[in-house]
């Protein structure tokens, strides 16, 4: 058997379980959330590509030694009615599985995007009715609620940041600035796009524990990224108090206060704890993480396309 199906299957298995478990248990992502987020995205993309690629390359073995020639031969066999005879049950089942898995992932991504856009439009209409524009901050609305609420609603040029009157009254000037910069980071860095992709992955594979773990880890990393934007404008003590009072402040929905430290959510504890952690990763380790993320995408792509390229050159 050619190496591609076996190598892709082993890579898919590694990316489906041990590698995500190792990454979620590691301590360094808190020191470099942007790099950790890049690595999570590479794991998700490479994992899906490897799963589909393993099924596809195995299914095409009776039709060609590489992906391109196998697809061409399979298309010809389907046209002349010999595909079932040449392929056999196992190989055809693998091809059907690859097609169904690919379609399932794409369909869930489209449905997740559609639901997100619909919910945001509905939410924006409610904000226009219930929220009052802030005269000092553009694209900001104030809700008449005593609870400390802060979140943002992405939407390109129509993005809006939402605060409650209770939040404005509760926080000091620096704490309010920390929350403001945190929410602006969600909007300017388009964290919502990353979250939509991982929510679609979880929706596609709800029975897959790693998909849920990946979504949770990515949500926390995004909050840490937004915290880093706030740290550039206020002291860490002000940011820590804002996190403790508002809870898991972020762009994903309104969040209630958490005045009692013992009742803080685990994500809030993790965000506050990292503020006192050691500095950023050394340059060598940062380069290693980037190289790993790139390799995760290059390896399955090469396994799929390199044999065809070699045969064309030869």
Closest listed residue to residue 63, CA positions, set 78, 48, 52, 44:
78
**179: Cα within 13 Å, side-chain hemisphere:** 30
Question: Are 186 and 246 within one domain?
Answer: yes
Among 149-158, 165-174, 247-256, the minimum mean pLDDT is found in 247-256
- 66/75 Cα distance (integer angstroms): 14
Query: In the chain, what percentage of residues exceed pLDDT 70?
Result: 94
In-domain check, residue 103? no
Is the pLDDT reported for residue 260 higher than 70? Answer: no
Does residue 144 share a domain with residue 57? Answer: no
Instruction: Pick the more confident residue, 249 or 124.
Output: 124
Residue 300 and residue 236 share a domain: no
- Whether 164 maps to a domain, the answer reads yes
Q: According to the model, what pLDDT value does residue 36 have?
A: 98
Domain that holds residue 10: 1-87+282-314
Q: Are strands 160-164 and 140-143 parallel, antiparallel or unpaired?
A: parallel
Tell me, what DSSP letter sits at residue 164? E
pLDDT of residue 258: 40
Q: Picking from 81-85, 251-255, 260-264, 282-286, which range would have the lowest pLDDT averaged per residue?
A: 251-255
Output the CA angle 219-11-211, nearest 5 degrees: 25
Please report the pLDDT score of residue 207 as a whole number. 81
Are residue 249 and residue 304 in the same domain, yes or no? no
Give pairs for 214-220: CB < 8 Å, separation 24+. 214/20, 214/24, 214/40, 214/43, 214/44, 217/23, 217/24, 217/29, 217/36, 217/40, 218/37, 218/40, 218/194, 219/195, 219/250, 219/252, 219/267, 220/267, 220/270, 220/271
pLDDT digits (tens, 9 = 90+) for 45-81: 999 999 999 999 999 999 998 899 999 999 999 999 9
Judge if 185 and 272 occupy the same domain.
yes
Instruction: Classify residue 199 by burial, with Cβ atoms within 10 Å: 0-12, 13-18, 19+.
Output: buried
Residue-level pLDDT at 50:
97
Q: Is residue 98 part of a domain?
A: no
Backbone φ/ψ region at 208: left (φ over 0), alpha (ψ -120 to 50), beta: beta
Residue 111 maps to a domain: no
pLDDT value at 254 more than 60: no
203 within domain boundaries: yes
pTM: 0.91
- pLDDT, the chain, mean: 91
Is the pLDDT confidence value at 279 over 50?
A: yes
Same domain for 292 and 266: no
Average pLDDT over residues 110-129: 95
Task: Please report the DSSP string for 231-300 in residue order.
Answer: HTTS-HHHHHHHHHHH-S-STTS------SGGG--HHHHHHHHHTTS--PPPHHHHHHHHHHHHHHHHHH
Verify that 68 and 195 share a domain, yes or no: no
- What would the pLDDT profile of 170-190 be if each residue is shown by its tens digit? 999 999 999 999 999 999 999
Domain count, the chain: 2
Percent of the chain with pLDDT over 90: 78
pLDDT at 47: 94
Based on the fold, state whether residues 267 and 313 are members of the same structural domain. Answer: no
pLDDT at 209 over 80: no
Shared domain check, 190 and 277: yes
Q: What mean pLDDT comes out for the span 33-54?
A: 96
Residue 233 covered by a domain? yes
Q: Are residues 140 and 276 in the same domain?
A: yes
pLDDT of residue 271: 94
pLDDT surpassing 50 at residue 248: no
Q: Is residue 205 part of a domain?
A: yes
Is the domain of 294 the same as that of 157?
no
At 261 the pLDDT is 53
pLDDT at 172: 95
Looking at the structure, tell me whether residues 141 and 275 fall in a common domain: yes
Is 118 a member of any domain?
no
Please name the residues in contact with 28: beta carbons below 8 A apart, sequence gap of 6 or more. 36, 281, 285
């Amino acid at each position: 058997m050619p190496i591609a199906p076996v190598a892709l299957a082993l890579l898919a298995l590694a990316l489906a379980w041990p590698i995500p478990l190792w990454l979620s248990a590691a301590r360094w992502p808190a020191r470099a959330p942007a790099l950790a987020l890049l690595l999570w995205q590479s794991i998700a993309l490479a994992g899906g590509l490897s799963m589909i690629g393993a099924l596809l390359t195995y299914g095409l073995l009776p039709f060609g030694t590489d992906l391109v020639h196998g697809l061409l031969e399979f298309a010809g066999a389907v046209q002349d009615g010999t595909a079932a005879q040449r392929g056999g049950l196992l190989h055809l089942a693998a091809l059907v599985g690859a097609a169904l898995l690919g379609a399932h992932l794409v369909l869930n991504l489209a449905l997740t995007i559609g639901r997100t856009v619909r919910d945001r439009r509905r939410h924006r209409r409610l904000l226009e009715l219930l929220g009052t524009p802030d005269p000092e901050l553009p694209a900001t609305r104030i809700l008449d609620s005593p609870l400390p609420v802060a979140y943002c609603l992405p939407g390109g040029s129509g993005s809006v940041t939402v605060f409650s009157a209770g939040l404005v009254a509760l926080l000091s000037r620096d704490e309010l600035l920390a929350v403001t910069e945190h929410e602006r980071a969600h909007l300017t860095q388009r964290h919502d796009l990353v979250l939509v992709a991982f929510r679609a992955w979880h929706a596609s594979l709800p029975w897959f524990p790693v998909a849920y773990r990946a979504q949770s880890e990515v949500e926390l990393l995004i909050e840490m990224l937004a915290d880093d934007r706030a740290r550039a404008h206020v002291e860490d003590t002000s940011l820590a108090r804002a996190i403790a009072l508002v809870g898991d402040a972020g762009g994903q929905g309104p969040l209630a206060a958490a005045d009692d430290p013992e009742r803080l959510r685990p994500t809030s504890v993790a965000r506050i704890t990292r503020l006192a952690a050691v500095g950023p990763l050394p340059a060598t380790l940062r380069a290693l993480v980037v190289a790993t993320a790139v390799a995760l995408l290059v390896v399955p792509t090469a396994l799929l396309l390199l044999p065809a390229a070699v045969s064309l050159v030869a």
